[in-house]
């Protein structure tokens, strides 16, 4: 990639914003500039330059968040996010478990195994458990952003990321470190895998308030899904 592509893309985007009506939800120049930013960010990501990719996508999010406030028909960041993920080709396949006609939905992805194993050793965790959390949280998508603002592979909320010492939440190494550290904290706090996973998903305050897994459909489904993935990944490790 030519070094000036990033600066050109950002300059073009800001110039388009400055020369059109405030926050135009359907202006062709804005859409084209957003698409260009996403393409350049994906190219940076593929080249291993995650800081530049994150900066570009943050610029996209900033504009789209403003649009959401100004118009119900604004450009959807979700569409741009899907474009980014498609361009970076972070699309795990599905493994099916034989027997009894049932299938598991455990995503097959080995690209992050070295980092997962490294952080599992660092924090005294089972690598299969860390991998199961990654699979359930983001499906191995490094640029994943939830509606609540959770970011990256292990879907760290900004406040949690700061507490865990994560400065670049979309950097796989930092995100896996922060998520693994937080998972270790939850396991130490509850000494129970199910409660630790529930706290990871819903927050420890919710677990304490209900003195157990909170009765949230999302959380109960999350705990079951992670445990299912955990079992699959442990079995795969022994083959």
Active centre residues (catalytic): 137
Structural tokens at position 141? 């998508």
Beta bridge partners of 107: 94
Backbone φ/ψ region at 145: left (φ over 0), alpha (ψ -120 to 50), beta: beta
Residue 1 CA to its chain's centroid (Å)? 25
Residue-by-residue DSSP string for the chain: --TTHHHHHHHHHHHHHHTSSSS-TT-HHHHHHHHHHHHHHHHHHHTT-HHHHHHHHHHHHHHHHHHHHH-TTSPPHHHHHHHHHHHHT---EE----STT-----EE--TTHHHHHHHHHHHT--HHHHHHHHHHHHTT-TT-B-TT--BTTTTB-HHHHHHTT-S-TTSHHHHHHHHHHHHHHHHHHHS-HHHHHHHHHH-HHHHHHHTSS-S-HHHHHHHHHHHHHHHHHHHHHT-
């Amino acid at each position: 990639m030519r070094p000036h592509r990033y600066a050109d893309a950002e300059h073009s985007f800001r110039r388009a914003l400055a020369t059109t009506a405030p926050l135009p939800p359907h202006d062709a120049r804005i859409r084209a500039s957003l698409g260009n930013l996403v393409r350049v960010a994906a190219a940076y990501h593929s080249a291993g330059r995650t800081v530049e990719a994150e900066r570009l996508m943050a610029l996209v999010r900033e504009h789209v968040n403003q649009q959401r406030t100004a118009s119900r028909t604004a450009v959807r960041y979700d569409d741009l996010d899907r474009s980014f993920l498609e361009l970076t080709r972070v699309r795990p396949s599905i493994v099916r478990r034989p027997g009894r006609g049932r299938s598991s939905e455990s995503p097959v992805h080995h690209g992050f195994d070295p980092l997962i194993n490294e952080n599992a050793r660092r924090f005294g965790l089972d690598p299969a458990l860390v991998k199961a959390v990654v699979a359930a949280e983001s499906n191995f998508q490094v640029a994943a952003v939830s509606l609540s603002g959770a970011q990256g592979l292990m879907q760290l909320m900004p406040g949690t990321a700061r507490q865990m010492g994560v400065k670049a939440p979309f950097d796989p190494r930092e995100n896996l470190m922060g998520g693994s550290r937080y998972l270790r904290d939850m396991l130490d706090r509850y000494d129970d895998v199910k409660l630790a996973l529930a706290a990871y998903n819903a927050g420890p305050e919710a677990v304490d308030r209900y003195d157990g897994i909170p009765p949230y459909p999302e959380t109960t489904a999350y705990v079951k899904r992670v445990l299912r993935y955990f079992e699959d990944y442990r079995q795969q490790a022994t083959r």
